[in-house]
């Protein structure tokens, strides 16, 4: 059995997501449910644009047969060696090669130490034409490769990071604008052994200065205790872990774009009075008036007759 951890994006999964918001005492502030984009043909001009992007930014071999398709502002391009997803409206991009994180050799020191890797990533981004403001190193995402055939035979305390081979290290950045954190932005960069980009995810929409200014005022209200955690989270079994003001925005998969100054409340909910105590950690966004803010709301996809029939038979 292979224990390789491979992180991949399935946008189809994102588009199938639905957001269920539990009924609460506080009102919820959210935009309309996002309308899923309709499939469309990619015209020759856009195909040329995608081909140029792949060659210039990712040094991808575009001489192979390139499969191109679209849905609204989303453009998809792929070969047997890589896939690309690009949002024409926001410039948000996902790119990954088939071979990234699938190595049979351990990662070299120059590809793993922070002192060596971060300058290399900055240089690669510069050469690719990506000038990404307000980014700050957050953490590494590591991947290991190894094999075992009998899970029960593994020793107690087995740690794949020690007993497997370190094959990939992806750099994750966070976004901070003038000391104001941005919730929802994403920047991941992973390099192949030859120094080319093997994994790239960028969702870094432009933000209005007004939203940043509002977030700064909201942060002051939190620090001065003029803003308090809503009563819906002041309950028995709920522990408040962190309260942070910033700017939040909708996700890559949301066809619409929404942003707002919010307070992110991270909490842990515990249930002790059961045979097996349970605990879960989550977060919610709230506006200046304590109303919950939902950035991305996807429609619930109705079941097909075949699927509903199978479900009834199962029950």
Q: Decide the pairing of beta strands 93-97 and 82-87.
A: antiparallel
Q: Which residue has the tokens 């990712």?
A: 58
Q: Where are the domains of the chain?
A: 11-203, 209-294
Backbone torsions φ then ψ of 237, nearest 5 degrees? 90, 0
- Is the pLDDT reported for residue 2 higher than 60? no
pLDDT at 307: 63
CA dist 183 → 64, 246, 259, 264, 277 (Å):
38, 7, 10, 8, 31
Query: In the predicted model, what is the mean pLDDT of the chain?
Result: 84
CA dist 154 → 4, 135, 149, 151 (Å):
16, 41, 9, 6
pLDDT at 132: 96
Worst-scoring range by mean pLDDT, 48-57, 77-86, 214-223, 274-283? 274-283
Tens digit of each residue's pLDDT (9 = 90 or more) over 159-198? 777 778 888 999 999 999 999 999 999 999 999 888 899 9
Residue 62 — pLDDT band, cuts 50, 70, 90?
confident
Q: What is this structure's pTM?
A: 0.81
Query: Can you tell me the mean pLDDT for 96-106?
Result: 87
For residues 82 and 100, give the distance between their C-alpha atoms in angstroms, rounded to a whole number.
10
Worst-scoring range by mean pLDDT, 74-78, 147-151, 203-207, 273-277? 147-151
Query: Can you tell me the mean pLDDT for 91-106?
Result: 90
Which of these, 65, 91, 90, 88, lies nearest to 78 by C-alpha position?
A: 65
Tens digit of each residue's pLDDT (9 = 90 or more) over 129-160? 999 999 999 999 998 887 666 767 777 877 77
Tens digit of each residue's pLDDT (9 = 90 or more) over 234-244? 998 999 999 99
Q: What is the full DSSP assignment across 33-65?
A: PPPPPPEEPPPHHHHHHHHHHHHHHH----SSP
Structure tokens at 154: 């593994």
Which of these, 90, 137, 130, 139, lies nearest to 259 by C-alpha position?
A: 90
Query: Can you tell me the mean pLDDT for 200-205?
Result: 98
Residue 273 — pLDDT band, cuts 50, 70, 90?
confident
For residues 288 and 29, give the distance between their C-alpha atoms in angstroms, rounded to a whole number.
11
């Amino acid at each position: 059995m292979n224990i390789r951890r491979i992180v991949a994006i399935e946008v189809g999964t994102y588009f199938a997501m639905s957001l269920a918001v539990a009924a609460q005492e506080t009102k919820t502030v959210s935009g309309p449910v996002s309308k899923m984009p309709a499939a469309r043909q990619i015209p020759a001009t856009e195909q040329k644009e995608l081909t140029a992007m792949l060659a210039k930014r990712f040094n991808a071999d575009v001489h192979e047969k390139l499969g191109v398709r679209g849905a609204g502002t989303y453009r998809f391009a792929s070969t047997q060696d890589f896939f690309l997803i690009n949002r024409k409206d926001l410039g948000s991009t996902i790119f990954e090669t088939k071979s990234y994180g699938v190595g049979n050799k351990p990662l070299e020191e120059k590809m793993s130490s922070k002192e060596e890797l971060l300058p290399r990533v900055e240089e690669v981004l510069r050469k690719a034409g990506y000038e990404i403001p307000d980014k700050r190193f957050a953490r590494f995402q590591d991947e290991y490769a190894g094999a075992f055939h009998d899970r029960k035979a593994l020793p107690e305390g087995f740690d794949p990071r020690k007993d497997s081979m370190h094959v990939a290290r992806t750099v994750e950045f966070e976004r901070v604008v003038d000391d104001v954190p941005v919730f929802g932005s994403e920047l991941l960069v992973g390099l192949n052994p030859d120094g080319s980009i093997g994994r790239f995810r960028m969702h870094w929409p432009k933000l209005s200065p007004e939203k940043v200014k509002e977030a700064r005022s909201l942060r002051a209200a939190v620090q001065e205790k003029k803003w308090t955690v809503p009563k819906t989270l002041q309950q028995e079994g709920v522990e408040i872990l962190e309260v942070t003001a910033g700017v939040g925005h909708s996700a890559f998969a949301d066809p619409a774009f929404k942003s707002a100054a919010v307070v992110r409340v991270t909490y842990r909910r515990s249930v002790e009075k059961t045979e097996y105590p349970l605990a879960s950690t989550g977060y919610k966004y709230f506006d200046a008036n304590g109303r919950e803010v939902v950035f991305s709301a996807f429609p619930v996809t109705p079941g097909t007759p075949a699927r509903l029939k199978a479900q009834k038979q199962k029950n």
